């Protein structure tokens, strides 16, 4: 059974008129969290998009920047997207439900933020409304300010890019400490680690862009210090 078939099964459990935010209560154990992850990115991404009641070609393309969606699964993905956009619940309710699903486990929430940034930048622009949306979601997820700035710098061309922010270290830290942080990030970004913490295989391409920026930040810091 594909992840999208499992998502449809999860949606069937919702009672008539019940908010999609209730679906996250089903995903508390690790095997099911990959389903919760996919629904979280699609649902929050739908709330971030301009609601017009339809799934446009551009929006489908945006989600394909995050997920591999086979033709036979497009109906399921579109149903989640439209259900989220038509839901009376606000995005904060969704974000709080997702936060509750993961508890104090911060890394999967960072993975979800990565997916949302992918969707926000799919059209090549970063709107103030998207920034306000993502800033508020990050607050609910308890993402620290430095980590949020680093993520925004990876995706937004005109955002201030600080390699120390990207690695999550202080600019005055010794190189050995920075190297340790760099290796820790590389380990956390490995596809096997991401799958283990609930990122679906369909979304594992998130790791590639993140790794490019992590490596670039390390190279920039070591280059500057060598000079």
Looking at 121-205, list the stretches that DSSP marks H as alpha helix, in order from N- to C-terminal side. Answer: 128-140, 145-155, 163-167, 175-189, 191-196
Structure tokens at 144: 């620290």
Does the global pTM surpass 0.85? no
Q: In whole angstroms, what separates CA 128 from the centre of its chain?
A: 18
Confidence bin at 6 (pLDDT 50/70/90): confident
Q: What Å distances lie between residue 79 and 76, 84, 98, 213, CA to CA?
A: 5, 9, 19, 33
DSSP string, 157-172: TTS---HHHHHT--TT
**pLDDT digit string (tens) for 31-47?**
677 788 888 888 888 88
| Residues in CB range of 57: below 8 A, 6 or more apart | none
Question: What percent of the chain clears pLDDT 70, i.e. is strictly above it?
Answer: 88
**pLDDT digit string (tens) for 82-104?**
777 777 678 898 899 889 888 88
Q: In whole angstroms, what separates CA 150 from the centre of its chain?
A: 14
19-58 in b/e form (b: 16+ CB < 10 A) is bbbebbebbeeeeebbbbbbbbbbbbbbbbbeeeeebeee
**pLDDT digit string (tens) for 38-72?**
888 888 888 887 644 455 566 666 677 677 777 77
Structure tokens at 136: 């508020």
Residue with the bigger pLDDT between 11 and 95: it is 95
């Amino acid at each position: 059974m594909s992840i999208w078939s499992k998502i449809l099964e999860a949606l069937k459990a919702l009672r008539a008129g019940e908010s999609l935010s209730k679906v996250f209560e089903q995903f508390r154990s690790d095997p099911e969290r990959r389903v919760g992850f996919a629904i979280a990115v699609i649902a929050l991404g739908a709330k971030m998009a301009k609601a017009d009641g339809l799934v446009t070609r551009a929006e489908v393309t945006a989600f394909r920047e995050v997920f591999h969606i086979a033709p036979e699964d497009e109906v399921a993905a579109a149903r989640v997207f439209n259900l989220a956009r038509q839901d009376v619940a606000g995005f904060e309710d969704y974000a709080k439900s997702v936060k509750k699903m993961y508890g104090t486990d911060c890394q999967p929430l960072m993975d979800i933020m990565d997916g949302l940034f992918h969707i926000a930048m799919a059209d090549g622009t970063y709107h103030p409304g998207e920034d306000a949306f993502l800033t508020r979601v990050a607050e609910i997820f308890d993402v620290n300010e430095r980590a949020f700035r680093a993520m925004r710098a990876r995706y937004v061309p005109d955002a201030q890019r600080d390699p120390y922010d990207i690695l999550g270290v202080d600019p005055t830290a010794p190189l050995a400490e920075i190297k340790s942080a760099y290796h820790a990030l590389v380990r956390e970004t490995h596809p096997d680690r991401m799958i283990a913490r609930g990122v679906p295989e369909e979304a594992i391409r998130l790791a590639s862009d993140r790794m490019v920026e992590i490596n670039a930040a390390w190279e920039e810091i070591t280059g500057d210090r060598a000079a």
